[in-house]
């Protein structure tokens, strides 16, 4: 399964799971939560948001920001792995493009030679999917933490009621734009692959379609996460470039 296909499958599953959650019938979450899902994931997220908000003057929008940063720091090793994989894929694009042109009438042969290149260079094309696989359960748990915690879903932040949809669709649009920027920074637009370029557009549109139907707190979490990744990617790529410069200069 390609990374593009896996991304679409994961987003589709996310839509199906969240569409089946009814805020009116969902049981409130609290310290007495039982079961692995509620006790070890949903309630800790609910507690983290509430405690962070209280520390920051009962501001639940900032509480979600703190929770987002903590979550992103936990999954940071996977994100770094994704960025390195994306960078390596970019470096191999000229060689992969030659293979596609050489075997344009034989896709199977092109796929075999492409996989051989990956193996030779120690590249796993699905490595970039690891963060998404990890973040999907977190995103679903985040949704449960919002709709099952009255203190969170009833709070307001800027023009938003955190437990309700954005009435002006501003946050879903920002979520789509930041998703596009994040994907572009991680090199999807430069891979010379028409499918990846199509995915660069499809992903933000899918995020927009999902975000307009969900509580604004979830869109806020997504936007915060995208901004975190954009900043993180910038510094990782900049540091990598600065480390390579002296070596390149020495080789000359």
Cβ atoms of 85 and 128 within 8 Å: the answer is: yes
| Position 201 in a domain | yes
Using alpha carbons, select from 188, 209, 228 the residue that is nearest to residue 3.
188
What average pLDDT does the chain have? 76
| Position 180 in a domain | yes
* Mean pLDDT of the region 108-127: 75
Q: Which residues contact 182 (CB under 8 A, 6 or more apart)?
A: 226, 229, 230, 233
In this structure, the number of other CB atoms found within 10 A of the CB of residue 115 comes to 12
Ramachandran quadrant class, 84 (left: phi over 0; alpha: psi -120 to 50; beta: rest): alpha
Tokens of 105: 């009438």
| Position 86 in a domain | yes
Identify the residue with better confidence: 9 or 149: 149
HSE, side-chain direction, 13 A CA sphere, residue 42: 23
Task: Name the one residue in this structure whose structure tokens are 């307001």.
Answer: 156
0.85 exceeded by pTM: no
Among residues of the chain, what percentage have pLDDT more than 70?
A: 73
pLDDT band at 212 (very low <50, low <70, confident <90, very high): confident
pLDDT of residue 2: 46
Based on the structure, what is the number of domains in the chain?
1
- Inform me whether the pLDDT recorded for 249 exceeds 60: no
HSE, side-chain direction, 13 A CA sphere, residue 1: 11
Selection from 140-144, 172-176, 233-237 with the highest mean pLDDT: 172-176
| Position 99 in a domain | no
Length reported for the chain: 252
| Position 6 in a domain | no
Residue 63 is part of which domain span? 29-92+128-238
- Inform me whether the pLDDT recorded for 188 exceeds 60: no
């Amino acid at each position: 399964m390609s990374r593009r296909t896996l991304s679409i499958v994961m987003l589709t599953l996310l839509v199906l799971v969240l569409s089946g959650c009814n805020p009116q019938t969902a049981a409130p979450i609290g310290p007495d939560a039982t079961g692995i899902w509620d006790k070890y994931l949903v309630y800790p997220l609910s507690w983290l948001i509430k405690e962070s908000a209280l520390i920051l003057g009962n501001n639940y929008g900032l509480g979600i920001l703190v929770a987002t940063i903590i979550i992103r720091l936990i999954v940071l090793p996977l994100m770094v792995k994704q960025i390195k994989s994306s960078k390596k894929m970019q470096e191999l694009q000229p060689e992969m493009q030659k293979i596609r042109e050489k075997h344009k009438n034989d896709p199977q042969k092109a796929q075999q030679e492409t996989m051989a290149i990956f193996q030779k260079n120690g590249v796993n094309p699905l490595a970039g999917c690891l963060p998404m696989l990890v973040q999907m359960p977190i995103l679903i748990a985040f949704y449960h933490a919002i709709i099952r915690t009255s203190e969170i879903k009833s709070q307001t932040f800027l023009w938003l009621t955190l437990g309700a949809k954005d009435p002006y669709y501003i946050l879903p649009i920002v979520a789509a734009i930041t998703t596009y920027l994040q994907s572009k920074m991680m090199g999807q637009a430069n891979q010379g692959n028409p499918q990846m370029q199509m995915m660069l557009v499809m992903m933000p549109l899918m995020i927009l379609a999902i975000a307009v139907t969900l509580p604004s707190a979830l869109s806020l979490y997504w936007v915060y996460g995208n901004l975190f990744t954009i900043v993180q990617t910038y510094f990782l790529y900049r540091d990598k470039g600065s480390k390579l410069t002296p070596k390149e200069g020495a080789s000359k």
